[in-house]
Structure 1
Amino acid sequence: MAEVILRAYERRDAAGAVKIWNDITRTGNAFPGEIEYTAESINSLFQEQTRTVCALLDEQVAGFYILHPNNIGRCAHIANASYGVSHAVRGHGIGRRLVLHSLTTARECGFRGLQFNAVVASNTRAVTLYESCGFQRIGKIPGGYHTKSGGYEDIYIYFYNLVNENQNE
């Protein structure tokens, strides 16, 4: 595989990023949203984030992450992130590079932790990745995800302490 380049999102990345986002949305086992984006609306979403970073492979968007506060006001020092990797290149370490890069970026932005609110239990690739990167599973919400087929599935809450990293062990 060619070298993967991580860099800040640019407007020209919208077409590639929206394809990845919408593929994940259509699959219905990871993102909470059900509405697909256009290149213009994904551009607006990505521009609103604290940081958006793309993974480029042969100058094409192969993945991305968005990073922003998990909440407002007195809780805005904890970040949240979403990741997307093209189906065509999954299993090649791009997701891991994005997650690790987002931890560094979150620290640089002054966040004290990174929290995931809704990791779908059957999304075993994400669960394995997050745990191998040092995230701690801090809770489970039974039936917290409404599946595409109409059922309900558990979701996990994960946290990574950016201030005291030895608490992530």
Structure 2
Amino acid sequence: MNIIIREYQDKDIPSMIDVWNEVVEDGNAFPQIESLTYEQAKNFFASQTYTGVAVDGDEILGLYILHPNNIGRCGHISNASYAVKKGCRGRSIGEKLVRDSIKQGRKHGFKILQFNAVVSTNTAAIRLYEKIGFHKLGIIPEGFMMKDGSYIDIILYYIEL
């Protein structure tokens, strides 16, 4: 397996949609409820500061988006979201994506990478973020609605770039 992280290309979009929509449909990590169509995805991924993909040959294994967390006087703070293809999880792809997003965040002039809504049951992500050196800001009780309609806590994290 020779995984590399690179900037996405238009030819990647159909596979990126599949990976992104898997996470949306699982309903336990992303705030989005609706799946992306091709046109929505094309615009969404192009509108990010940076969109990276994890590839092994021609296969898309995961992706991330990086963008400002806010505007103006808070525009130096970035935000990112990550998705790894089912069947590929647990192979350090997420770690490669996060580390690349930190590198790209610095390259694009951001000073901080902040996560606004890490779902408290996403223990793999929590372990990864803490391993890399993210700091926990706090917990928002019942800040995330699960697919079944129940609410669960979210955790905010940040790392200085």
1:134, 1:40 → 2: CA distance?
A: 36
1:111, 1:122 → 2: CA distance?
A: 28
1:60, 1:49 → 2: CA distance?
A: 22
Where 2:87 maps in the other structure, the secondary structure is helix
Identity level (%): 45
State the one-letter code of the partner of 1:93: S
Aligned to 1:166: none
State the one-letter code of the partner of 1:54: V
Per-residue deviation at 1:6? Answer: 1.1
State the one-letter code of the partner of 1:35: E
Aligned to 1:114: 113
Q: Point out 4+ residue stretches in structure 1 off by more than 4 angstroms.
A: none
2:50, 2:149 → 1: CA distance?
A: 33
1:153, 1:99 → 2: CA distance?
A: 24
1:51, 1:58 → 2: CA distance?
A: 21
Aligned to 1:167: none
Aligned to 1:100: 99
Aligned residues: 161
Aligned to 1:123: 122
Matches within 5 A, 1:26-65: 26-65=25-64
Aligned to 1:8: 7
Aligned to 1:18: 17
1:92, 1:59 → 2: CA distance?
A: 18
Query: CA offsets per residue over residues 2-54 of structure 1, 9 Å max, x none?
Result: 10021111111111110011110111110001000012211210100000011
Aligned to 2:146: 147
Q: TM-score, normalised by structure 1?
A: 0.93
> 39-48 or 117-126, which moves further after superposition?
39-48
Q: TM-score, normalised by structure 2?
A: 0.98
1:28, 1:73 → 2: CA distance?
A: 32
Aligned to 1:76: 75
Query: CA offsets per residue over residues 97-155 of structure 1, 9 Å max, x none?
Result: 01001101100111000000000000111111111111011110000001111110000
Contact 1:14–1:40, Cα closer than 8 Å, also in 2: no
Query: CA offsets per residue over residues 62-91 of structure 1, 9 Å max, x none?
Result: 101100000011101000000010011111
1:40, 1:57 → 2: CA distance?
A: 25
